[in-house]
A and B are shown apart, each in its own frame.
Chain A
C-alpha cells in the first residue's frame, strides 16, 4: 500500500481549505477529512507518516481520535490544532507531539510539518 504523507482532520472549512492549499503547494500528498470518525476510518484503511488533527470537531474530538490512533500505531507523530489554550493539557495527555494554537497565520506550522516528513 502506498504511504500517504499526512492525514488531516479539520471541520472548519476555511482552515481546512487553507491547509489543503498550503500542503498542495509543498507537493505533500494527503487525505483530508471533516470529522474525527472519518479520520479514524481513513487511518484504519490507509498508511500515513503524520496525522494532523483539529481538537474541536463534531462527534469524536482530536484527543479521542489520537488515543485510538495511538493504540494502532504508538509511534506515528500526532500534531494538534486548537484555538482553546485550555485544551493543551488534554492534548499533551493524548500523546500529541506538537500543538498549534489557531489561527495558523504565517508558515511556522508548515516548517514543523516538513521537519517531521523529512
Chain B
C-alpha cells in the first residue's frame, strides 16, 4: 500500500501530522515536536532555500526513524514543490494535495524553527564535524571542493546533478519574460562586474581594505544570483565570507577565479543569445 503526500509550496504542519499519524499506526513514533502559537505575532521570513534545508533535515530524521522498518520513504523538493512517498503497510491509501500558504522560518542558535498557519516546527540543526585534514588545505581549494560549483566544462545547462552552470538563463526568464530587458540587464551586469573586479584588484593589491572587499564581493554575489551566474556568485560568496571573517588568505586566488568566471559568463551568455563574444582584454 502506498501513501502519497504531495503539496504545492508547503503545508508542513498538515503533512507532518499525516505522516506522524500513519507512522504511529504502525508503531513508529517520530521524534518531531511541534507546538501551536499565535500566527499574528512577529514578522514572516521568506526563504525557500532554508525551508528546503529544514525539510531535508526533517526527512533525514524520518528516514533514520524508519530504518529497520518494513516501509520506505522517497522524497524530493524542487522549485517550491515537495513530494514524498511513503511505502509500507498502512491503514488506508490516500492522496493529499494541499494548498499554498506562507511559511516563516527562524534560525536561532542550533535550532531551526519553522512556523506556518500558527503551527511551529522546531528542529535541531545538523552538526557539521570540523575538517580533520593534515596538513591544512588551502581554504579556497577546500571551499571549491565542497561547494556546488561545476567543473569547467559546461557553459549553459547540462550540468551534473546538484551542480550549478556558469549561466542559467531560466532564472531571468522566470523573473521577467521580456528577453530584451533580460539581455540588457546581463550586459549591464557584465559591464558593472568588470568595474567591480578592477576595484577589487586595486584593493587586494593595496592594503586589503576588508570592509570594501566585503561590500564589492557582496554586490557581485547578489548580482550573479539575480542573473543566473551561479558559479561567479559562489566564488564571490566565498570572498565575502573571508572578508567578513577578517581573513586575507586566498583573496588573490579568488580574484583570479572571479575574473575567469566573469569571462566564462560572458562567453556563456553570448553563446546563449547567439552573439559573437567580445575578445577579452
Interface residues of A (CB under 8 A from B): 11-15, 17-18, 21-22, 25, 56, 58, 83, 85, 88-89, 91-92, 96-106, 108-109, 112
**20 A-B contacts (beta carbon < 8 Å):** A14-B223, A14-B226, A14-B227, A17-B188, A18-B185, A58-B215, A85-B50, A92-B43, A97-B43, A97-B44, A98-B46, A99-B43, A99-B46, A100-B46, A102-B222, A103-B225, A105-B48, A106-B48, A109-B46, A112-B46
Asked if B221 lies at the interface with its beta carbon under 8 angstroms from chain A, I say yes
When the two chains form their complex, are residues B44 and A103 in contact, meaning their CB atoms are under 8 A apart?
Answer: no
When the two chains form their complex, are residues B222 and A103 in contact, meaning their CB atoms are under 8 A apart?
Answer: yes
When the two chains form their complex, are residues B176 and A21 in contact, meaning their CB atoms are under 8 A apart?
Answer: yes
Asked if B47 lies at the interface with its beta carbon under 8 angstroms from chain A, I say yes
CB-based closest 4 A-B pairs: A101-B47, A103-B225, A14-B226, A14-B223
Question: B44 contacts which of A13, A83, A99 (Cβ < 8 Å)?
Answer: A99
Asked if B277 lies at the interface with its beta carbon under 8 angstroms from chain A, I say no
When the two chains form their complex, are residues A96 and B225 in contact, meaning their CB atoms are under 8 A apart?
Answer: no
Min CB–CB distance B248 → chain A (angstroms)? 21
Q: A21–B182 Cα gap in the complex (Å)?
A: 10
Would you list which residues of chain B between 171 and 186 have a CB under 8 Å from chain A? 171, 174-176, 178, 181, 185
Name the A residues within 8 Å of B175 (CB-CB). Answer: 18, 22, 104-106
Q: A77–B274 Cα gap in the complex (Å)?
A: 44
Name the A residues within 8 Å of B43 (CB-CB). Answer: 91-92, 96-99
Asked if B59 lies at the interface with its beta carbon under 8 angstroms from chain A, I say no
Total interface residues on B, using CB and 8 Å? 33
> Please, which residue of chain A has its CB at the minimum distance from the CB of B188?
A13
Min CB–CB distance B53 → chain A (angstroms)? 10
> Please, which residue of chain B has its CB at the minimum distance from the CB of A58?
B215
Asked if B164 lies at the interface with its beta carbon under 8 angstroms from chain A, I say no
Q: A96–B102 Cα gap in the complex (Å)?
A: 16
When the two chains form their complex, are residues B178 and A12 in contact, meaning their CB atoms are under 8 A apart?
Answer: no
Asked if B42 lies at the interface with its beta carbon under 8 angstroms from chain A, I say yes
When the two chains form their complex, are residues B45 and A101 in contact, meaning their CB atoms are under 8 A apart?
Answer: yes
When the two chains form their complex, are residues B226 and A103 in contact, meaning their CB atoms are under 8 A apart?
Answer: yes
When the two chains form their complex, are residues B188 and A101 in contact, meaning their CB atoms are under 8 A apart?
Answer: no
Name the B residues within 8 Å of A92 (CB-CB). Answer: 42-43
Name the A residues within 8 Å of B222 (CB-CB). Answer: 12, 14-15, 83, 102-103
Asked if B58 lies at the interface with its beta carbon under 8 angstroms from chain A, I say no
Name the B residues within 8 Å of A13 (CB-CB). Answer: 188-189, 192, 223
Asked if B231 lies at the interface with its beta carbon under 8 angstroms from chain A, I say no
Q: A74–B8 Cα gap in the complex (Å)?
A: 35
Q: A83–B218 Cα gap in the complex (Å)?
A: 9
When the two chains form their complex, are residues B181 and A21 in contact, meaning their CB atoms are under 8 A apart?
Answer: yes
Name the A residues within 8 Å of B159 (CB-CB). Answer: none
Name the A residues within 8 Å of B49 (CB-CB). Answer: 101
Q: A90–B102 Cα gap in the complex (Å)?
A: 21
Min CB–CB distance B189 → chain A (angstroms)? 5
When the two chains form their complex, are residues A56 and B45 in contact, meaning their CB atoms are under 8 A apart?
Answer: no
From B174, B181, B226, residue with most partner A Cβ within 10 Å: B226
Would you list which residues of chain B between 198 and 239 have a CB under 8 Å from chain A? 215, 218-219, 221-223, 225-227
Name the B residues within 8 Å of A22 (CB-CB). Answer: 175-176
